Amino acid sequence: MRYCSLNPPPRFRLAMIPTPLEAFGLSPSPKSRVEIFLKRDDLTGCELSGNKVRKLEFIVYDAISRRADTLITCGGIGSNHCRATAALASRLGLGCHLFLKGRQPSRPNGNLLLDNLYGARITCVTDKAYETNIDKIMADWADRLKRTGKRPYVIPEGASNPLGMWGYLLQGIELKKQLDKANVKPDFLVCAVGSGGTYAGLHLAAQYLDWPVQILGMAVARNRRYFIDKISRLLIDFAAQYDFPVNVQNRMINIDDSYIGPGYAKISKKETDFIKAVAANSGVVLDPAYTAKAMIGLFDYITNGEIRNDSKVVFIHTGGLLSIFSYQSKLAAR
């Protein structure tokens, strides 16, 4: 395996890695013989917990090297990415402006409460404006700051750009080393897909290592076609920027958009009951926006036979514990 020949860009060492690889004792059926393992990227830190910190290690280093004094980014009202960005900005003495999709509640909770504690400036954007125009909204704000003498740095949604993709290219290599040591050969890697960068990075790792594992992404927003197109663009841009050989074929990008439920960061009784059951029976907390929906999808695939018995699956737990407090009225109900 070519573990040592990569030359990634410089980064801050922020994440507590390697994160653990654990056997997961739950299954959707007593008859299931599918082995599930958890890659615990929910344990990358505390205020910097979750998958986004792996990407931000590279992106924030780049921002500092360019002498930026303000970070600008976007996400949902309870975004894990925005919380991690705001935490880093406060740690490094930078300004932070977050553009959040949705209405700001009268009593902030979860990640939004932390955004406020970290001193981030928050602008709420309607769903329509966000989906059609968020990149221009952030670019316009950056131009406005430049006219006042500031040095802004715009981070895309989810830190999903070629530079951020290095985080999950390296995570995939880290995971493969752990699996080799444990003598586990997985058939599938499964992850939630909200902005595409995590999936794209894992795809790069599999190609780099010549690793015959299927990567299954469970979309938690938008739709399958959107993510196939976006991940393809990310891979093409990464290959061009870093002279990295990538085989980009849409048929190799496996995205399922059947588990979005009521919408991005919205849950019904199905997701609520699932989160409670997993927590009560395993001690693992899934977040409502991402990992709960992705694991519901995984369990359905096993139940329906799309993942066959005797398969081995690694589920990437991308974090999100802090966002769960925004759902306390649903999750606390009996």
How many residues appear in the chain? 334
Query: Rounded distance, CA 59 to CA 161, Å?
Result: 9
Look at the alpha carbons of 138, 141, 154, 100 in this order and tell me if their dihedral is positive or negative. Answer: negative
**What does the pLDDT profile of the chain (334 residues) look like in tens digits?**
454 578 999 999 999 999 999 999 999 988 899 999 999 999 999 989 999 999 999 999 999 999 999 999 999 999 999 999 999 999 999 999 999 999 888 888 899 999 999 999 999 999 999 999 999 999 999 999 999 999 999 999 999 999 999 999 999 999 999 999 999 999 999 999 999 999 999 999 999 999 999 999 999 999 999 999 999 999 999 999 999 988 888 778 999 999 999 999 999 999 999 999 999 999 999 999 999 999 999 999 999 999 999 999 999 999 999 999 999 889 988 6
Domains of the chain (ranges plus CATH)? 21-50+160-331 (3.40.50.1100), 53-159 (3.40.50.1100)
Q: Which residues pair with 218 in a beta bridge?
A: 192, 256
Query: Rounded distance, CA 214 to CA 311, Å?
Result: 11
Q: Is the peptide bond before 18 cis (omega within 30 degrees of 0)?
A: yes
Backbone φ/ψ region at 18: left (φ over 0), alpha (ψ -120 to 50), beta: beta
Core vs surface per residue 60-80: b (16+ CB within 10 A) or e? bbbbeeeebbbbbbbbbbbbb
Positions annotated as catalytic residues are: 79
Strands 35-40 and 21-24: antiparallel
Residue 24: how many CA atoms within 13 Å on its side-chain side?
A: 27
DSSP string, 144-160: HHHHTT--EEE--GGG-
Structural element, H or E, at residue 39: strand 35-40
